[in-house]
Amino acid sequence: MAAVVALDLSRSGLRGVQIESPYTARPTISRFAALAIEDGTVFDGEIVDQRRAIAALKELWKRGGFTTKNVVLGISNRKVVVREVTLPALTGPNRSTSLRFAVEGQVPIDLDDAILDFLPLRDVETPHGPQQEGLLVATVRSSLEATVNAIERSGHSIDAVDFSGFSLLRLMPGPQRGTQAIINVGGSSTTIVISTAGTPRFVRIVPSGGDDVTRSIERALGVSFAEAEQDKIARGLQGGAATPRDVDAETVLRENIAGLIDSIRNTFSFWANAHPDAPVSFVTLTGGGSRLNGLTLVLSRALGVETAYGNPLGSFSVSQKARNAGIEPWGLELASSLGVAVGAKVSTKPARGASKASAKSSAKAAAAGAKQAEKDAKAAAKADAKAAAKGARK
Ligand SMILES: Nc1ncnc2c1ncn2[C@@H]1O[C@H](COP(=O)(O)OP(=O)(O)O)[C@@H](O)[C@H]1O
Ligand SMILES: [Mg+2]
């Protein structure tokens, strides 16, 4: 199989990883490059400024010395909706159209501008005949198209696209026993994937991430985003405020994280209610936002579940060249895009359909009752200090 470049699109920069023998059990990473980009080029994993993105993509290829134009992409953002649905078994060439009709009314989304994908998990007998339980993923067509267009206009072609929730799990399937939750904390959204024996069972995307923490510090201290970012990274959840200014920054940081923890807790409760026999038994953390100093400890205490960082580069042989280019500290950020190149190639055969509404309802859920989580975060952060510093990059 020809080499591919796993492309990671982030607000702060682009990252590219050239992978030899992709779609196998143990591919090789041959090259790596990271490139800082101007604010407003990428938001929440999607290209929003075509012109700047095209220039940056060309520069990234130059910098990385990438020898292939084939790109793989992991997609997850606040507009993606994933729901558990039961559908009549869909087969044959009209599967896409059938999917569009089958999910009508089953999901809280408008089906006019969505790309739909269905991952069947289980055959079930129903009064209406044999059906399949599975996960429906709805992506907004227009925003994905803008990203794909920019990539193609910069001279590259898309070899595979997958929903990040699934790619994360392919990369980090977890053990055969127990229930794993992968939590990828990105800049603007957080993807939660609950799985058993490597199979995704339940997915939620929370419209909140590390950049929201930075923005709250920016507002509280009246500093620039870049300064707030530095403050956040240095401060973490360790506590010990000495000045009124410190107290302000610490308070908003903790409130923000408390809100995120609350959304995660709601997701876990929702899952546990439906599956009381399989509560989440451990959490695997990825994404740049998970580097917040002290987060593993605060999370494990607030959720009552063992929490550890994932090792996204662990599934690859990594060349010396890629190491020299500085790939190692980027593992957590790269997880969702790397996962697209691991294991069997996904053949995404998208169907016309749509998604808008549910960002609203999940935003509501995220905002709901952050009090308890805040208390937990405060209590845990106090005792915490250094334990999670291991995962911090800077
Ligand atoms: N050392 C750190 N401590 C806290 N947050 C960090 C650290 N390093 C990166 N981040 C945060 O990670 C987020 C970006 O992570 P990333 O996985 O690249 O997100 P996305 O894929 O959504 O763009 C940003 O909010 C950034 O502030
Ligand atoms: Mg990313």
Q: Are strands 13-20 and 28-36 parallel, antiparallel or unpaired?
A: antiparallel
Pocket lining: 15 vs ligand 1, CB cutoff 6 Å? no
pLDDT at 123: 93
pLDDT at 1: 76
Pocket lining: 331 vs ligand 1, CB cutoff 6 Å? no
Residue 98 lies in a domain: no
Distance CA 307, CA 380 (A): 14
Residue 178 lies in a domain: yes
CATH of residue 282? 3.30.420.40
Min mean pLDDT across 221-235, 261-275, 343-357 is at 343-357
Cα 130 to averaged position of ligand 2 atoms, centre (Å): 39
Chain mean pLDDT for the chain: 87
Domain that holds residue 379: 174-310+357-394
The answer, yes or no, to whether residue 394 has pLDDT greater than 80, is: no
Residue 290 lies in a domain: yes
Closest approach atom of ligand 1 to CA 11: 23
Among the bound ligands, name the one nearest to the CA of residue 287: 1
- In this prediction, residue 353 has a pLDDT band, given cuts at 50, 70 and 90, of very low
Given ligand 1 and candidates 211, 214, 393, which is best to mutate, with the most ligand atoms within 8 Å of its CB? 211
Residue 74 lies in a domain: no
Residue 164 lies in a domain: no
Distance CA 359, CA 78 (A): 6
Pocket lining: 11 vs ligand 1, CB cutoff 6 Å? yes
Distance CA 156, CA 150 (A): 9
Beta-strand ranges (E) seen in the chain are: 4-9, 13-20, 28-36, 42-43, 46-47, 70-75, 81-88, 114-126, 129-140, 157-163, 179-185, 190-196, 199-206, 282-286, 306-309, 317-318, 351-353
Among the bound ligands, name the one nearest to the CA of residue 339: 2
Sign of CA dihedral 208, 386, 325, 35: positive
Residue 230 lies in a domain: yes
Amino acid letter, 153: R
Cα 267 to averaged position of ligand 1 atoms, centre (Å): 22
Min mean pLDDT across 28-37, 113-122, 191-200, 362-371 is at 362-371
Mapped onto helix, strand or coil, the DSSP state of residue 194 is strand
Cα 254 to averaged position of ligand 1 atoms, centre (Å): 16
Closest approach atom of ligand 1 to CA 394: 1
Beta-strand ranges (E) seen in 242-348 are: 282-286, 306-309, 317-318
Cα 394 to averaged position of ligand 2 atoms, centre (Å): 17
Cα 187 to averaged position of ligand 1 atoms, centre (Å): 5
Closest approach atom of ligand 1 to CA 287: 17
pLDDT in tens, 327-340: 999 999 999 999 99
Residue 377 lies in a domain: yes
Distance CA 114, CA 141 (A): 5
Q: What is the mean pLDDT of residues 346-369?
A: 35
Residue 99 lies in a domain: no
Cα 13 to averaged position of ligand 2 atoms, centre (Å): 9
How many domains is the chain partitioned into structurally? 1
pLDDT at 348: 53
Given ligand 1 and candidates 8, 10, 237, which is best to mutate, with the most ligand atoms within 8 Å of its CB? 10
